[in-house]
A and B are shown apart, each in its own frame.
With several copies, the nearest count.
Chain A
Amino acid sequence: MKKIEAIIQPSRFDAVKEALHEVGVDGMTVSEVRGHGRQKGHTEVYRGSEYTVDLLPKVKLEMVVPDRMADAAVQAILKTAKTGKIGDGKIFLTHVDDAIRIRNEERGDAAL
């Protein structure tokens, strides 16, 4: 099974979630993160002292899916998260050894 980690623009999150749902990915874990990359940040000024914020709010989705679903999931994300502007984010794919559903201790693909 594969873990898909997608870092996306917060404003695209709802669309991405929906698209994933459509290709059959339901389980996911979401966190608020801040991203640093090519996208340039902004400057804030407090009483004359400027400071540059180059960490921008992003949403990180993590979902572990059976190998066969990975592609569809990635496509769903790409389709909905892309705005074509710098800062759209990244997707990373990693191999996961095992998954366990805590509720009933199911393992492997069945647990996803």
Chain B
Amino acid sequence: MRRLFLGLLLGTLLISGLTAAPACAQSTDSQGAAAGSASSSASLQEQVGKLQQQVADARSSGDNAWMLVCAALVLMMTGPGLALFYGGLVRKKNVLGTMMQSFILLAIVTVLWALFGYSLVFHSGTRFIGNLGYLFLHGVGAAPNPDYAATIPQETFMVYQLMFAIITPALITGAFAERMKFSAMVVFMILWTLLVYDPMAHMVWGKGGLLNATLGGVIPTLDFAGGTVVHITSGVSALVCALYLGKRLGYPHEPMPPHSVVLSFIGACLLWVGWFGFNAGSALAAGSLASSAFVATHFAAAAAALGWSAAEWLRNGKASVLGAISGAVAGLVAITPAAGFVGPMSALVIGLIAGVLCYLMVAKVKGRFGYDDSLDAFGVHGAGGTVGALLTGVFAVRAVNPIFKDAQGNALAVGLIDGNARQVINQFVGVVMAWVLAIVGTLVILKIVDVLVGLRVREEHEIQGLDLSQHGEEGYNLEV
């Protein structure tokens, strides 16, 4: 060791002696170079013209940097974020099966999106679904699509939106955890993406969609980052799944505590971090709207964590870790539609409400109705998404986001506290649409899949666990 090391050192010095020579010429300042040196001969007008392009590029560079990072953050929400959050909540024998459901969606939804999903959502078409102009991503390249985001390549927009299409179905998996066949899950999700997610996303975010607030929708619904599109559709579909599949064997008599709150904790934290990409990224640029949405997101998560914890403390005399992290997630869910429309103090209020409400859903309502929403996908995402969508109509203000304008370009009132009571009704309509689509779509799909492949694993497989029965593996092999 010693000899070698000395040798190395010597060698290094030797080489440095041999070649140290001229070297570091790298001197001429080239920083300005990028902008082009002001050649005195070129007319000023030419220079300005060139500058305009360069400024656009510079702007795009900042916004694109931001949006690519946000896309990566939203990917991180599904894997490892959500996979861990859910994986920790199940019993040890189902940890891999549960995480796999999120992971395979990463793969499947990506391919579907590339082939036709993006087109169905974001190409203009009918009020309910886009057409196939972007089939195989035809025409989706470096040029921005100014309808959606004028300062970033459309490819960036496409891949960012893809991450939303991935996590939405993944959220549902919490409802049927520990008992659904892997093959059934795969078929279900392919259909669900096509029949529920794509239409809903088109209606709210697609050009000409029925509920689109800025691009020609009939009922302008506010949904900044996916309260209706992501959380209500997934949460309500989750409830339908839980009811259709029935309870896990032994539920609720047998204890089914989380096998590792530690994993869930990691997952929840990564969800929180990733959610900045989700919500602040939905500004689609790195301007001050992103900052505002970032702040609202963080504040709502914090307030909701406190809300849930306080509710638990009052009821059980203790605040649990699972409660605190669940509360944070509930707050993140509820602020999602509102993030780019509300001020920081409103965000605190929304978070607080969501934290307490979702706690009650999970700890009281679920018990009363007796359905087995195993990991509370409905209790958190369905309920949190719904209340968030409605409160968006209450707390949205033009000071944060002047989304509605009159003919002269003056900002109009946005939400109830801004003076536009109507918006609450619009929000309500959006919520109802999402609920109805989710319920009907999911029921139809479940029926189909049930007939085709069967939904539930066999009883002995459920006892053995998904890891072994569905994937032939075990999560942990801790014996020496």
Q: B-contacting residues of A (Cβ < 8 Å)? A: 10-11, 14, 32, 42-49, 51, 57
Which of B254, B326, B468 interacts with A47 by CB under 8 Å?
B326
A43 to B468: give the CA distance in the assembly, Å: 9
A46 touches B479 (CB 8 A): no
Interface pair B322/A47, CB less than 8 Å apart: yes
Query: Per-residue 0/1 for B320-342: is the Cβ within 8 Å of any A Cβ (1 yes, 0 no)?
Result: 10110010000000000000000
How far apart are the CA atoms of A82 and B316 in the complex, in Å? Answer: 33
- Residues of chain B within 8 A (CB-CB) of A10 are 479-480
Is the C-beta of B22 less than 8 angstroms from some C-beta in chain A?
no
Cα A10 to Cα B318 in complex, Å, equals: 25
Shortest CB distance B430–A (Å): 28
Inside 8 A of B473's CB, which chain A residues have their CB?
A: 44-46
Query: Across the interface, do B367 and A49 meet the contact criterion of CB distance under 8 Å?
Result: yes
Closest residue to B480 on the A side, CB-wise? A10
- Beta-carbon contact of A46 and B254 below 8 Å: no
Which B residues are closer than 8 A to A by beta carbons? 252, 254-255, 257-258, 312, 316, 318, 320, 322-323, 326, 359, 362-364, 366-367, 376, 463-464, 468, 472-474, 479-480
B468 x A42 contact (CB < 8 A): yes
Contacts of A44 in B (CB 8 A): 257, 468, 472-474
- Chain A residues contacting B255 (CB-CB under 8 Å) are 51
Q: Are A48 and B480 in contact (CB under 8 A)?
A: no
Task: Name the residue of chain A whose CB is nearest to the CB of B315.
Answer: A48
Name the residue of chain B whose CB is nearest to the CB of A11: B463
- Nearest-CB residue, chain A, relative to B257: A46
Give the Cβ gap from B329 to chain A, nearest Cβ, in Å: 12
Question: CA of A47 to CA of B375 in the docked complex: distance in angstroms?
Answer: 9
How far apart are the CA atoms of A42 and B252 in the complex, in Å?
19
Q: How far is the CB of A67 from chain B (nearest CB, A)?
A: 31
Chain A residues near B254 (CB, 8 Å)?
Answer: 14
Given A10-B480, A11-B463, A32-B479: A47 in contact with B252 (beta carbons within 8 A): no
CB distance from B382 to the nearest CB of A (A): 15
In the assembled complex, which residues on chain B have CB atoms less than 8 Å from the CB atom of A57? 480
Bound together, the chains give a CA A103 to CA B335 distance in angstroms of 56
Contacts of B318 on A, CB cut-off 8 Å? 45
> Bound complex: CA of A48 vs CA of B363, how far in Å?
4
Q: A49 to chain B: which residues have CB within 8 Å?
A: 252, 363, 367
Chain B residues with Cβ under 8 A from A11's Cβ?
Answer: 463, 480
Question: Nearest-CB distance from A23 to chain B (Å)?
Answer: 21
With A11-B463, A14-B254, A42-B468 as contacts: A48 and B364 at CB distance below 8 Å: yes
Would you give 27 A-B contacts (Cβ < 8 Å), ordered by A?
Answer: A10-B480, A32-B480, A42-B464, A42-B468, A44-B257, A44-B468, A44-B472, A44-B473, A44-B474, A45-B312, A45-B320, A45-B473, A46-B257, A46-B320, A47-B322, A47-B323, A47-B326, A47-B376, A48-B359, A48-B362, A48-B363, A48-B364, A48-B366, A48-B367, A49-B252, A49-B363, A51-B257
Residue of B nearest to A51 (CB): B255
Query: Which B residue's beta carbon lies closest to that of A41?
Result: B468
